[in-house]
A and B are shown apart, each in its own frame.
Chain A
Amino acid sequence: NAGVTQTPKFQVLKTGQSMTLQCAQDMNHNSMYWYRQDPGMGLRLIYYSASEGTTDKGEVPNGYNVSRLNKREFSLRLESAAPSQTSVYFCASRLKGTLAGVGTEAFFGQGTRLTVV
């Protein structure tokens, strides 16, 4: 099993350009997440999908859109990239995030290092 796969691993964009970060998991997980990580800020939740067919905003959704394409895939789109979106982006998945009282562990991809110039 590959686990959680993110593409690309590195990307440089010019301000105003658009791009889509791809994420796929092969663990039959229901919930998927997109985070960004900046120095000293920890992981901040951008968007998440608790189950196939649903998406919700996290802590820092502005400037991003997401698509839960199917159970395996969850993509993150930057419509008009800005230098403030320079960051490392992580995709994660877990079996089920809404099971009462049971917090299943999250599995993370290797990250996408995005630079906007």
Chain B
Amino acid sequence: SQKIEQNSEALNIQEGKTATLTCNYTNYSPAYLQWYRQDPGRGPVFLLLIRENEKEKRKERLKVTFDTTLKQSLFHITASQPADSATYLCATGGLGSGNTGKLIFGQGTTLQVKP
């Protein structure tokens, strides 16, 4: 079955460093991957989308890469701040394995940025 996996262990980094989060997928060739941010007690909020024909996408301090050979997307936050502390989720859906409008998520990785 289609699977999308993230490292469920929390990531702790120092303020100012670059945080790198990983999303791997199996049994699937997604047309795109999305990244969301979730704060405690709130619903996820969309951050970025990257399509299969795009190697890299940037938005302010955020950067997403998509490697279809490794079946992996990396999500980077540069110059991280304590306000970046949250859970980050990747999601996928779209063409590749029968596009039905489904949208599935990974487990999420919790990022803690220490001052």
B94 interface neighbour in A45, A101, A110, Cβ under 8 Å = A101
Is A41 in contact with B107, judged by CB distance below 8 angstroms?
A: yes
Q: In the complex where A48-B102, A106-B103 touch, is A97 in contact with B89 (Cβ < 8 A)? A: no
Q: How many residues of B contact A (CB 8 A)?
A: 32
B100 located at the interface, meaning its Cβ lies under 8 Å from any Cβ of chain A in the complex:
yes
> B4-47, CB under 8 A of A: which get 1 and which 0?
00101000000000000000000000011110100001111110
Is A101 in contact with B108, judged by CB distance below 8 angstroms?
A: no
Tell me the smallest distance from the CB of B39 to a CB of chain A, in Å.
11
A56 located at the interface, meaning its Cβ lies under 8 Å from any Cβ of chain B in the complex:
yes
Which of A84-114 touch B at CB < 8 Å? 90, 92, 94, 96-98, 100-103, 105-111
B42 interface neighbour in A42, A101, A110, Cβ under 8 Å = A110
Across the two chains, which residue of chain B brings its CB closest to A97? B101
A-B contact pairs, 27 of them (CB 8 A): A4-B43, A31-B101, A35-B105, A42-B107, A44-B105, A50-B102, A51-B101, A56-B102, A96-B101, A98-B99, A100-B31, A101-B31, A101-B51, A101-B52, A102-B94, A103-B34, A103-B49, A103-B51, A105-B46, A105-B49, A106-B36, A106-B44, A106-B91, A106-B103, A107-B46, A111-B41, A111-B42
What are the 4 tightest A-B residue pairs by CB atom distance, in nearest-first order?
Answer: A108-B43, A97-B101, A50-B101, A42-B107
Known: A50-B102, A101-B32. 19 other contacts (CB 8 A): A33-B103, A42-B6, A42-B89, A42-B107, A43-B91, A45-B102, A45-B105, A50-B101, A58-B104, A59-B104, A94-B103, A101-B94, A101-B95, A102-B31, A102-B51, A103-B103, A105-B46, A108-B45, A110-B43
